[in-house]
């Protein structure tokens, strides 16, 4: 039976990504759903994108766009590099793209252009990088940037008192729209967790690969997960986004 895996933030950590995918050893009919932030931080953003393009050719992959990917997409498209992006890991991405050919740039830009803002699997599950703000769901979102940046969905899930039943008028409507929601964007290491976190029906799979954590792959049926080694150990002498 085919499995579905969801993969958290990567941030240029090609060695960690390749390692964890090798540990999972997905079959050709398994589905891989990536939650975004493939670039910015460690030194191999370009290699990450090349690897994902190759993986997409051999597996059933879905790529969600993260805020760092949106930044990188703008830069690859010729819109320039913002100081904010460069400070938050974009400088490493620019260096990794040194010497790239026009043909390679076009292929990478096509990959970024094809990323989805979110994905619904038809079985009551939503996959999105950060979140959404509309109580009517992502289809009614007024600002597409919320898919990349919103933290209020996760913060709402964190703040819910377990004593409030789901049928209460006080229960957040956003959390009633799906059976399960999978996100990245906010590292679980911010809360001293090195593994995925679940609050209400929201699973956070960003286990801090950009900083002091690991790249995580979660199998959605069983909620079992596999992780890479700590990224810092795989990139000795680098700081990632630990500034």
Percent of the chain with pLDDT over 90: 97
pTM over 0.95: yes
Return the percentage of the chain with pLDDT > 70, whole number: 100
The reply to whether 243 falls in a domain is no
Res. 219: pLDDT tops 90: yes
Q: What is the CA radius of gyration of the chain?
A: 17
Q: Note the pLDDT tens digit of each residue in 40-71.
A: 999 999 999 999 999 999 999 999 999 999 99
Q: Does residue 20 lie in a domain region?
A: yes
Q: Does residue 65 lie in a domain region? A: yes
Is residue 151 one of the residues assigned to a domain? Answer: yes
Residue 240 lies in a domain: no
Contacts 24+ apart (CB under 8 A), 224-230: 225/195, 225/196, 226/20, 226/23, 226/24, 227/20, 227/195, 228/13, 228/15, 228/16, 228/17, 228/19, 228/20, 228/23, 229/16, 229/19
Q: How far is CA 49 from the centre of its chain?
A: 13
pLDDT-derived band at 159, boundaries 50, 70, 90: very high
Residue 47 falls in which region: left (phi positive, over 0), alpha (psi -120 to 50) or beta: alpha
pLDDT at 17: 98
Cβ neighbours of residue 208 closer than 8 Å, sequence gap 6 or more? 187, 188, 189, 190, 194, 214
- Choice between 22 and 1, residue whose per-residue pLDDT is larger: 22
Phi, psi (degrees; rounded to nearest 5) at 77? -80, 0
Confidence band of 80 (pLDDT split at 50, 70, 90) = confident
Average of per-residue pLDDT across 84-97: 96
Q: How far apart are CA 89 and CA 144, in angstroms?
A: 22
Average of per-residue pLDDT values in the chain: 97
Residue range of the domain that includes 217: 4-234
| The pLDDT value given to residue 226 | 98
The predicted pLDDT at position 97 comes to: 97
Q: What's the pLDDT score for residue 1?
A: 87
Q: What is the pLDDT of residues 101-125, one digit of tens each?
A: 999 999 999 999 999 999 999 999 9
Q: Within a domain: residue 103?
A: yes
- Taking the C-alpha atoms of residue 176 and residue 37, their distance in angstroms, rounded to an integer, is 26
Q: What is the CATH number of the domain that holds 91?
A: 3.60.21.10
How many domains does the chain fold into?
1
Q: What confidence tier does 243 reach under pLDDT thresholds 50, 70, 90?
A: confident
Is 89 a member of any domain?
A: yes
Per-residue pLDDT at 65: 98
Does 241 fall in a domain?
A: no
Average of per-residue pLDDT across 157-182: 96
94 sits in which H/E element: helix 91-96
Q: Above 90 in pLDDT, residue 36?
A: yes
């Amino acid at each position: 039976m085919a499995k579905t895996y969801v993969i958290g933030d990567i941030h240029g950590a090609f060695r960690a990504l390749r390692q964890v995918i090798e540990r999972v050893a997905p079959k050709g009919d398994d589905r891989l759903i990536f939650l975004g932030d493939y670039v910015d931080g460690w030194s191999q953003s370009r290699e990450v994108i090349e690897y994902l393009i190759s993986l997409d050719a051999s597996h059933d992959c879905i790529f969600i766009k993260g805020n760092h990917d949106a930044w990188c997409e703008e830069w690859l498209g010729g819109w320039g590099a913002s100081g904010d992006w460069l400070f938050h890991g974009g400088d490493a991405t620019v260096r990794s793209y040194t010497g790239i050919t026009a043909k390679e740039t076009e292929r990478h830009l096509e990959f970024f252009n094809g990323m989805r803002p979110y994905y619904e699997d038809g079985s009551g599950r939503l996959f999105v990088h950060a979140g959404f703000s509309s109580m009517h769901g992502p289809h009614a979102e007024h600002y597409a940037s919320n898919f990349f940046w919103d933290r209020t969905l996760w913060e709402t899930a964190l703040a819910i008192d377990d004593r409030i039943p789901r049928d209460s008028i006080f229960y957040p409507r956003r959390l009633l729209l799906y059976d399960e929601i999978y996100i990245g964007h906010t590292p679980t290491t911010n809360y001293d967790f090195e593994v995925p976190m679940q609050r209400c029906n929201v699973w956070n799979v960003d286990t801090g690969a950009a900083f002091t954590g690991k790249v995580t792959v979660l199998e959605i049926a069983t909620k079992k997960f596999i992780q890479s080694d700590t990224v810092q150990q795989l990139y000795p002498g680098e700081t990632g986004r630990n500034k």
